[in-house]
Amino acid sequence: MDSGAKKILDKLKSKKYEPVYVLQGEETYYIDLISNYIESNVLTDSEKGFNQVIVYGKDVTVNAILTHARRFPMMAERQVVIVKEAQDILDMQKETGAKQLLDYLQRPVPSTLLVLCHMHKTFDKRKELGKKIEQLTEGATFKKPKDSELSIFIAEHCSTRKFKIDDSAAQVLAEYVGNDLNRLANEIDKVLINTEQGQTITADLVMAHVGISKEYNIFELQKALIRKDKLQVVKIVNYFEANTKKNPVIPMVAFLYSFFSKVLIASSSPDKSDSGIATFLNINRYFAGDYSTTLRNYSGMQIMTVLSLLKQTDLKLKGVDAGDATEGQILRELTLRMML
């Protein structure tokens, strides 16, 4: 778990409350996690009716939010005011609204928990409000996790639900879903719902429940390309070409581009062994085999050519110089040229 999120949640679970929380940044998973915890746990069900207010930034002004925040709780020790999508507050970008909010942050009402969920970006630190907001509030800024951190998140998410997951299953989830933690958590939960308590999550279980064909999928295509196994590549492409609606090509190209970009970085590692590449890329050693195999089969120049082909293919799939070629035909040409 993100260290900033853990610190805030630990304090909340110990009932150590602050008057203002500012949760901001690109990664919205932890913003939702913390705000949902506050919404569900700070007040009892009987207290929420009069003392919990949830509003959306696009519907309110700073003045309206502060009117809620300055009220005193009714028949409760405190009240909670949660502003979702706070980046859309109507007048917060204007000098008057920003000044009103800054004045409140300097003298907040102690019996109110004001929670600002500033999604997808941070407060502008070139402005006075942005410069001072972190000093005056409890909060954290959440960045998108690095690829090397995804397996840790996956293992922790499973562990909190009393499940174990093996390395290969974590790799499939990380590579297939990417670093959108909300989507990643949803896909993990989809697998867990269909798994008996105490059963270890395997790659087969993941592929069965997150919509990945076990026989032919992007992972099998990547492995065939790594080995330059032309026969297997053609079989997989034929399978994809028969049903491009279920197997859209643009995400495949993005997936392969991400992998070969990391291979290019790995090519700079002074130690090309699995352990050396794992250390260089800061990834689990289990995942390093594909990189070292690729480096044995593709020269540095070939890797650069592959990345260029993937870029060109992405443009073709989006309608640039595509001619009359179908998605399947474009994929076939790409994969064959990648293995030259």
DSSP string covering 50-97, please?
A: HHEEEEEGGG--HHHHHHHHTSPPSSSS-EEEEEETGGG-TTTTSHHH
Looking at CATH, the fold of the domain delimited by 147-209 is given as: Helicase, Ruva Protein; domain 3 (1.10.8)
pLDDT higher than threshold 90 for residue 147: no
Confidence of residue 167 (pLDDT cuts 50, 70, 90): confident
pTM of the predicted model as reported, rounded to 2 decimal places: 0.74
**Under 8 Å CB-to-CB from 92, ≥6 apart: which residues?**
57, 62, 86, 98, 101, 129
Confidence of residue 178 (pLDDT cuts 50, 70, 90): confident
- Measured in degrees and rounded to the nearest 5, phi and psi for residue 241 equal -65, -30
CA–CA distance, 35 with 244 (Å, rounded to integer) = 40
pLDDT higher than threshold 70 for residue 215: no
Q: What is the pLDDT of residues 121-139, one digit of tens each?
A: 999 999 999 999 999 999 9
CA–CA distance, 185 with 255 (Å, rounded to integer) = 19
From-to residues of CATH 3.40.50.300 in the chain: 3-142
Q: What is the pLDDT of residue 182?
A: 94
From-to residues of CATH 1.10.8.60 in the chain: 147-209
Q: Report whether 55 contacts 65 (CB < 8 A).
A: yes
Q: Report whether 331 contacts 241 (CB < 8 A).
A: yes
From-to residues of CATH 1.20.272.10 in the chain: 218-338
Q: What is the pLDDT of residues 282-302, one digit of tens each?
A: 887 777 899 999 999 999 999
Q: What is the pLDDT of residues 40-85, one digit of tens each?
A: 999 999 999 999 999 999 999 999 999 999 999 999 999 999 999 9
Radius of gyration of the chain measured on its C-alpha atoms: 25
Terminal C-alpha separation, the chain:
43
CA–CA distance, 48 with 70 (Å, rounded to integer) = 17
Number of C-beta neighbours around residue 305 at 10 A: 16
pLDDT higher than threshold 90 for residue 319: no
Assign domain 218-338 to its CATH architecture. Up-down Bundle (1.20)
Q: Which CATH superfamily is domain 3-142 in?
A: P-loop containing nucleotide triphosphate hydrolases (3.40.50.300)
CA–CA distance, 15 with 152 (Å, rounded to integer) = 28
pLDDT higher than threshold 90 for residue 26: yes
Arithmetic mean of pLDDT over the chain? 93
pLDDT higher than threshold 70 for residue 214: no
**Under 8 Å CB-to-CB from 329, ≥6 apart: which residues?**
241
Q: What is the pLDDT of residues 83-131, one digit of tens each?
A: 999 999 989 999 999 999 999 999 999 999 999 999 999 999 999 999 9
Beta bridge partners of 22: 116, 139
